[in-house]
């Protein structure tokens, strides 16, 4: 069974891919950190990598950045080996920590980075603008909040104007407001067509900001699609309706219903094909006030990444 919900990518268009991981395996001695990942990402996609601790997200990111080599399989980033893509400035990363000097201002930090990477001074203002920190250019880095420091790292990563931006758990430790501002800046920038891949533990971030969500468990992809399609695939939907006098055993007998619950006059029917459940209720019973809802991404995540979850791909 496959839970892949994305439209997928055919062999024909692999030459135009931003990222192509083909049968990628990474072993560290007896540990298999990545266990046969196939993943194709098109230019302009914003993709979240989600998975529990130790799932293999950071290892995948490290391989995309050329910091680790696959034991088996092949990786291409804009048609090149990751190391070459990074050297050409096609790829930049925003990592979680490190790399900032507290006694410099925000603007000085970006200027210094531009000089180090041989970028013209004109790139500095644009990077500050795009990262949404032009107004705090004169602030000392040491006085910036965690969220502002992350947007500064984002500005630095933008200097080469990369085609692909990779973020490994970029908002860990930030408060809600900081996370919101950070993602607003990323989304605004991505609207211009930049490809973005981010690893996160925050399910709601994947739900809110990614076009596509890739769930990883034990080094393998267990689901891949839009947040809503993954939610639906992973956990089905629920039809709620008003149906006085209904019995759970009768409801469970309706085609497509996995579980049924009666609370007073309200019934909750859970299943994959909620359209046909709703059709049945409306045509064959006096049910009214129908409502169909998806479970949230957190529940889908728990279902898909549970240790007893079956192999789905």
**Does residue 56 interact with ligand ATP by CB under 6 A?**
yes
**Would you state the structure tokens that stand for residue 82, as one six-digit string?**
């990751």
**Total interface residues for ligand ATP by CB under 6 A:** 11
In the list 41, 46, 57, 154, the residue contacting ligand ATP (rule: CB under 6 A) is 57
Long-range CB contacts (within 8 A, 24+) of 110-115: 110/152, 110/155, 110/156, 110/159, 113/156, 113/159, 114/159
User: Is-contact 166 61, C-beta < 8 A?
Assistant: yes
Tell me how far, at minimum, the Cβ of 20 lies from ligand ATP, in Å. 20
**Would you state the structure tokens that stand for residue 16, as one six-digit string?**
């135009």
Tell me how far, at minimum, the Cβ of 60 lies from ligand ATP, in Å. 7
**Does residue 51 interact with ligand ATP by CB under 6 A?**
yes
**Does residue 54 interact with ligand ATP by CB under 6 A?**
yes
Tell me how far, at minimum, the Cβ of 53 lies from ligand ATP, in Å. 3
**Does residue 53 interact with ligand ATP by CB under 6 A?**
yes
In the list 55, 114, 167, 246, the residue contacting ligand ATP (rule: CB under 6 A) is 55
Q: Which stretch binds ligand ATP (CB under 6 A): 48-56, 111-119, 181-189, 261-269?
A: 48-56
From residue 275, give the alpha-carbon distance in Å to each of 112, 143, 232, 238, 261: 58, 54, 12, 10, 18
Nearer to ligand ATP, 53 or 122 (CB): 53
The closest of 294, 296, 282 to 242, measured between CA atoms, is 282
Nearer to ligand ATP, 24 or 128 (CB): 24
In the list 4, 58, 195, 274, the residue contacting ligand ATP (rule: CB under 6 A) is 58
**Strand segments (E) across 162-210:** 164-168, 195-200
From residue 66, give the alpha-carbon distance in Å to each of 93, 163, 170: 11, 16, 19
Q: Which stretch binds ligand ATP (CB under 6 A): 27-35, 147-155, 270-278, 284-292?
A: 27-35
d(CA 129, CA 159): 12
In the list 18, 33, 131, 221, the residue contacting ligand ATP (rule: CB under 6 A) is 33
User: Is-contact 105 171, C-beta < 8 A?
Assistant: no
Nearest 5 degrees, angle CA 284-CA 286-CA 289? 115
From residue 263, give the alpha-carbon distance in Å to each of 138, 248, 295: 59, 10, 18
Nearer to ligand ATP, 56 or 137 (CB): 56
In the list 4, 6, 40, 59, the residue contacting ligand ATP (rule: CB under 6 A) is 59
Q: Enumerate binding residues for ligand ATP (CB under 6 A).
A: 28, 31, 33, 51, 53-59
């Amino acid at each position: 069974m496959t839970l892949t919900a994305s439209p997928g990518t055919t062999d024909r268009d692999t030459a135009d891919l931003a990222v192509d991981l083909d049968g990628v395996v990474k072993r560290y001695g007896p540990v298999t950190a990545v266990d046969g990942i196939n993943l194709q990402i098109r230019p302009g996609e914003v993709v979240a990598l989600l998975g529990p601790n130790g799932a293999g997200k950071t290892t995948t990111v490290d391989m995309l950045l050329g910091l680790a080599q696959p034991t088996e399989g092949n990786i291409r980033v804009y048609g090149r080996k990751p190391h070459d893509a990074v050297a050409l400035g096609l790829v930049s990363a925003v990592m979680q920590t490190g790399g900032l000097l507290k006694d410099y201002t925000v603007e000085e930090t970006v200027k210094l980075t531009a000089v180090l990477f041989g970028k013209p001074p004109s790139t500095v203002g644009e990077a500050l603008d795009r990262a949404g920190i032009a107004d705090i250019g004169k602030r000392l880095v040491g006085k910036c909040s965690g969220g502002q420091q992350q947007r500064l790292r984002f500005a630095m990563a933008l200097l080469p104007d990369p085609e692909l931006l990779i973020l490994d758990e970029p908002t860990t430790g930030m408060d809600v407001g900081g996370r919101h501002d950070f993602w607003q800046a990323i989304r605004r920038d991505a609207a211009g067509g930049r490809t973005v891949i981010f690893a996160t533990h925050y399910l709601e971030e994947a739900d809110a900001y990614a076009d596509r969500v890739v769930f990883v468990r034990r080094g393998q992809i267990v689901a891949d699609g839009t947040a809503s399609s993954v939610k639906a695939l992973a956990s089905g939907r629920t039809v709620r309706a008003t149906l006085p006098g209904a019995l759970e055993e009768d409801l469970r007998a309706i085609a497509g219903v996995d579980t049924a619950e009666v609370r007073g006059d309200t019934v909750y029917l859970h299943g994959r094909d909620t359209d046909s459940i709703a059709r049945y209720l409306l045509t064959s019973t006096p049910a009214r006030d129908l409502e169909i809802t998806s479970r949230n991404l957190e529940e889908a995540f728990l279902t898909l990444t549970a240790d007893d979850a079956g192999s789905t791909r």
